[in-house]
Amino acid sequence: MGLEDAILIRTSNTLRYEDNQVLMLDRRQFPEREVWQRCSNYEQVASAIEDMVIQGAGSVAFAACFGLALAAGCYSSRSHAEFENKLFKAAGRLKSTRPTGEYLIPLVDKMLQIAIEAHAEGTDPVQAVVFNTEKLMAQDDELTRKCGMYASHLIADGDGILTHCYPGGALLYMLDYVKQQGKQVRVYCSETRPYLQGARLTAASVHRLGVPVTIVTDNMGAFLMAQGKIHKFVTACDRITMDGHIANKVGTYQYAICANLHRIPFIVLGYDGPQTNTLTAGDIEIEERDPEEVLYCRGVRTGAPGVKGYYPAFDITPPTLIGAIVTDRGVFSPLEIGRVYADRFSREISC
């Protein structure tokens, strides 16, 4: 098995626009079944994002952009004023689906502008949005590869690597480069309740890559560290602030505390770094999902009748607990990430 067998490495392997429909690999059913869900309007795309059919900050953002293309097709025959009004409404709905993600809002806003300009010029707004979204997806794969390449140099031969949730393609590229460098590692995947992304998505992809992988429950991480089985803690993140905080799947913060206590480096796969004007942790909105979701596991109720649930989907880890943030530009201390990306934020602020 090799890199191409790890099917989740590229967003294009799990998401595409085809015949005026958005097709998503249902990650809730993977790896037992590879089921594709078809969406023919933007509301179906929004619901699929909210229902966790597709997951991961980048994948969610691209799916929302394709949803905007569906809306553009639906309203393309309207007057320009009405088209613009309807498309703003569709964009607002799509942006509201997963508020913590770094890429969703700026990418949908970018595609909204592209669609409006195309309609005003008399060209096809659907084609414009789809073309530009697919172009960004291709660029995303290249920056993902670079992020994984840089991260691989932080991994030593014999390392045990703990992951949480699904860190995306950068983890798989990292592991593939590690193999090419002749280093042998073992990956431990936290199951990641309540959707079990670690047990289903990460573990399955790492296994297809041919790297030894072990699934552990969410409450085992500290014990594994105390046993000496973990040498690196590696996750992705859904948002990076200019002052070095990261937002990721809830549970990341407590693992980071444990890793810090055991002097285990926490490596964040930051892909292409901060994307919006998120200056501090206070600028991050933590998505709170339906409390009922934590009372069930894959459709089976695990909570006692009458009890309540609570489900903040993300938490925030401060820079003092992070060893390195790796992006397509290299490896950086979290305290210097603002300086590294100051050029990007200057451009965005001036727009």
CATH of the domain at 226: 3.40.50.10470
183 and 138, same domain (yes or no): no
Please write the tens of the pLDDT for every residue from 281-306: 999 999 999 999 999 988 899 999 99
Taking all residues of the chain, what is their mean pLDDT, rounded to a whole number?
Answer: 93
Q: Residue 228: give the domain boundaries.
A: 143-350
pLDDT of residue 1: 54
Q: What is the CATH number of the domain that holds 60?
A: 1.20.120.420
DSSP 8-state symbol, 280: S
pTM, whole model, 2 decimals?
0.90
59 and 177, same domain (yes or no): no
Choose one of 114, 142, 170: the last residue of a domain. 142
pLDDT(86) > 60 = yes
Query: Which stretches of the chain are assigned E, i.e. beta strand?
Result: 15-18, 21-25, 36-39, 160-163, 186-190, 213-216, 232-236, 239-240, 246-249, 266-269, 296-297, 300-301, 314-317, 324-327, 330-332
- Beta bridge partners, 216, equal 190
pLDDT of residue 231: 98
240 and 262, same domain (yes or no): yes
Choose one of 118, 142, 166: the last residue of a domain. 142
164 and 312, same domain (yes or no): yes
Q: What is the mean pLDDT of residues 179-206?
A: 96
Q: What is the mean pLDDT of residues 317-332?
A: 98
205 and 133, same domain (yes or no): no
135 and 169, same domain (yes or no): no
Structural domains in the chain (count):
2
List, in order, residues 6 or more apart from 321 with CB less than 8 Å away.
253, 256, 257, 259, 260, 266
Identify the band that residue 56 occupies on the pLDDT scale cut at 50, 70 and 90: confident
pLDDT(196) > 70 = yes
Under a CB-based contact definition with an 8 Å cutoff, are residues 216 and 255 in contact? Answer: no
- The pair of structure tokens assigned to 59 is 């994948």
Please write the tens of the pLDDT for every residue from 4-45: 667 677 777 899 999 999 999 999 998 889 999 999 999 999
- The pair of structure tokens assigned to 234 is 């590696």
9 and 119, same domain (yes or no): yes
CA gyration radius, the chain: 20
Q: What is the mean pLDDT of residues 71-95?
A: 96
Return the active site residues. 238
Under a CB-based contact definition with an 8 Å cutoff, are residues 318 and 299 in contact? Answer: no
163 and 311, same domain (yes or no): yes
Identify the band that residue 322 occupies on the pLDDT scale cut at 50, 70 and 90: very high
pLDDT of residue 101: 82
Choose one of 126, 142, 158: the last residue of a domain. 142
135 and 258, same domain (yes or no): no
User: CA-CA distances (angstroms) from residue 150 to 23, 73, 189, 195, 235?
Assistant: 32, 41, 21, 29, 14
pLDDT(166) > 90 = yes
Under a CB-based contact definition with an 8 Å cutoff, are residues 302 and 295 in contact? Answer: yes
214 and 233, same domain (yes or no): yes
138 and 150, same domain (yes or no): no
135 and 164, same domain (yes or no): no
pLDDT of residue 276: 63
